[in-house]
Amino acid sequence: MYICVCKGVTDTAIREAVCQGADRMRDLKVRLGVSEQCGICAIYAQEVLEQALIQKTAPRHHLT
Ligand code: FES
């Protein structure tokens, strides 16, 4: 699903960026160009970012 239409960024691309170390909106902007133009996508990109970060860290919680 496209999150940022202006830059053609999908939720999958955001999740991949998180797997590669992105952990804030600034990272998504630098890596993918998210919210660089109209900015409408920012709130949706933030949601995907937060979900991806939770999923990324969840396995660690099971170990502790
Ligand atoms: S939809 Fe992302 S900058 Fe416009």
Instruction: Decide: 37 in ligand 1 pocket, CB within 6 A.
Output: yes
Q: Mean pLDDT across the chain, nearest whole number?
A: 93
The response to whether residue 13 sits with its C-beta less than 6 Å from ligand 1 reads no
pLDDT tens track for 24-39: 999 999 999 999 999 9
| 4 Cβ below 6 A of ligand 1 | yes
Tens of pLDDT, residue by residue over 11-23, are 999 999 999 999 9
Tokens at residue 16, please? 């991949």
Residue 25, number of CB atoms within 10 A of its CB? 14
Share of the chain above pLDDT 70, in %: 91
Q: How many A from CA of 60 to the centre of ligand 1? A: 33
Which pLDDT belongs to residue 60? 62
- pLDDT of 57 strictly over 90: no
Residue 29's identity, in one-letter code, is: K
Q: How far apart are CA 53 and CA 49, in angstroms?
A: 6
61 pLDDT higher than 60: no
According to CATH, what is the number of the domain 2-63? 1.10.10.1100
